[in-house]
């Protein structure tokens, strides 16, 4: 009886088609990539902004959960940052976090409503020029210079500029402002005129409070600088009343230090739009200066500056 021999097929390599697994993984990843790219191409800008803000907050610790719109109260970041604490420096500390106080601008380098900032004349050189211009006032203590990274401040005592309870500049005040004029007009740095008072209450027919007095005095100085030829767009007024004292108001010497007007010169400057740019007040000031120079050469011609800002040209020795 014939026996059939069992036929054995040769062994085949079971790994011959494993490349299909890698290829399928590759195709899956490529499909996912193109889906993400397509989704990013058609995403709405508003939703994308919310997503971006939320992701940025992920890297900061927080005591409160984020809201659905991506907002939240953030603390110090997990990542090191060179950014200053903007809320703290601008608004100070509040018991209720949602209620912020008024924005503090005194002493800060940031100027409001400036889309682009241009550096002006260096404050170091201005400080040296000012020391020479008002050396007498600095020696008597009626003026003081202070400089930091952002501001150069000229502190002028109110007793030097105004009579008690008045906001009308004295003749001595006008002399001091004229001494400052060549330095202030030689550059385009921004100026902030700040008024301060002591805490003694004032309530008369002219000023209802120290707020009004501080603003009125700062305005008087600004108007005189404008009249003397300083570009109006460089200047602004700040009134602090009795609420930003330099010294203790409990003593007479302290109250005297708190009554002052400060001319703060910023490190930033007004950009030049026209090299021949001259305001009307600057033109008038230049014309008056030319007339004075011509009168010095011609003894018969006299230029008299009137208290109300006008001038009188005469050949008489004395005015009746």
Name every residue whose Cβ is closer than 8 Å to that of residue 64 and which is 6 or more positions away in sequence: 72, 73
What pLDDT was estimated at residue 127? 93
The answer to whether the Cα torsion of 77, 80, 82, 88 is positive or negative is positive
What pLDDT was estimated at residue 203? 81
Confidence of residue 194 (pLDDT cuts 50, 70, 90): very high
Question: Mean pLDDT over residues 123-136, rounded?
Answer: 92
Confidence of residue 19 (pLDDT cuts 50, 70, 90): confident
What is the residue extent of each domain of the chain? 118-269, 280-314
CB-facing half-sphere around the CA of 226: CA atoms within 13 A: 15
Question: Residue 102: pLDDT above 60?
Answer: no
C-alpha separations of 39 from 29, 51, 52, 70, 264 in Å: 15, 14, 15, 20, 53
pTM given for the model: 0.54
Q: What is the 3-state secondary structure (H, E, C) of the chain?
A: CCCCCCCCCCCCCCCCCCHHHHHHHHHHHHHHHHHHHHHHHHCCHHHHHHHHHHHHHHCECCCCCCCCCCCCCCCCECCCCCCCCHHHHHHCCCCCCCCCCCCCCCCCCCCCCCCCCEECCCHHHHHHHHHHHCHHHHHHCCEEEEECCCEEEEEEEHHHHECCCCCCECHHHHHHHHHHHHHHHCCCEEEEEEEECCCCCCCCCCCCCHHHHHHHHHHHHHHHHHHHCCCHHHEEEEEEECCCCCCCCCCHHHHHHHCEEEEEEEEEECCCCCCCCCCHHHHHHHHHHHHHHHHHHCCCCEEEECCCCCEEEECCCCCC
Gap between the Cα atoms of 179 and 266, Å rounded: 19
Mean pLDDT of the chain, nearest integer: 75
Question: Residue 161: pLDDT above 70?
Answer: yes
Give the domain 118-269 fold: 60s Ribosomal Protein L30; Chain: A; (3.30.1330)
The answer to whether the Cα torsion of 173, 293, 228, 318 is positive or negative is positive
Backbone angles phi, psi at 207, to 5 degrees: -120, 130
Burial of residue 127 (CB within 10 Å: 0-12, 13-18, 19+) is: middle
Confidence of residue 291 (pLDDT cuts 50, 70, 90): low
pLDDT digits (tens, 9 = 90+) for 215-263: 999 999 999 999 999 999 999 999 999 999 999 999 999 999 999 999 9
Backbone angles phi, psi at 265, to 5 degrees: -105, 120
Q: Give the residue, 61 or 173, on which the prediction is more confident.
A: 173
């Amino acid at each position: 009886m014939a026996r059939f021999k069992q036929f054995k097929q040769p062994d085949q390599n079971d790994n011959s088609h494993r490349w299909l697994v890698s290829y399928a993984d590759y195709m899956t990843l490529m499909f996912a990539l193109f889906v993400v790219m397509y989704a990013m191409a058609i995403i709405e800008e508003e939703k994308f902004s919310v997503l971006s803000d939320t992701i940025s907050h992920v890297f900061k610790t927080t005591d409160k959960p984020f809201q659905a719109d991506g907002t939240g109260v953030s603390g110090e970041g997990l990542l090191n940052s060179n950014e200053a604490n903007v809320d703290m420096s601008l608004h100070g500390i509040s018991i209720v976090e949602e209620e912020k106080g008024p924005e503090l601008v005194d002493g800060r380098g940031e100027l409001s409503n400036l889309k682009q900032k241009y550096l002006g004349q260096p404050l170091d050189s201005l400080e040296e020029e000012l020391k020479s211009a008002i050396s007498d006032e600095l020696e008597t203590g009626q003026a003081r210079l202070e400089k930091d990274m952002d501001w150069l401040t000229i502190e002028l005592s109110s007793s030097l500029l105004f009579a008690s309870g008045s906001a009308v500049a004295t003749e001595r005040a006008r002399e001091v402002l004229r001494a400052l004029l060549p330095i202030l007009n030689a550059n385009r740095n921004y100026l902030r005129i700040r008024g301060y008072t002591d805490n003694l209450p004032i309530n008369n027919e002219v000023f209802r409070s120290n707020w009004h007095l501080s603003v009125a005095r700062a305005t008087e100085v600004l108007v005189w600088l404008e009249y003397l030829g300083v570009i109006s767009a460089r200047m602004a007024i700040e009134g602090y009343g009795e609420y930003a004292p330099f010294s203790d108001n409990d003593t007479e010497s302290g109250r005297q230090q708190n009554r002052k007007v400060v001319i703060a010169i910023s490190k930033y400057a007004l950009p030049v739009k026209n090299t021949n740019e001259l305001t009307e007040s600057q033109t008038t000031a230049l014309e008056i200066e030319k007339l004075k120079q011509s009168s010095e050469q011609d003894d018969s011609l006299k230029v008299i500056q009137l208290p109300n800002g006008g001038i009188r040209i005469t050949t008489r020795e004395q005015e009746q």
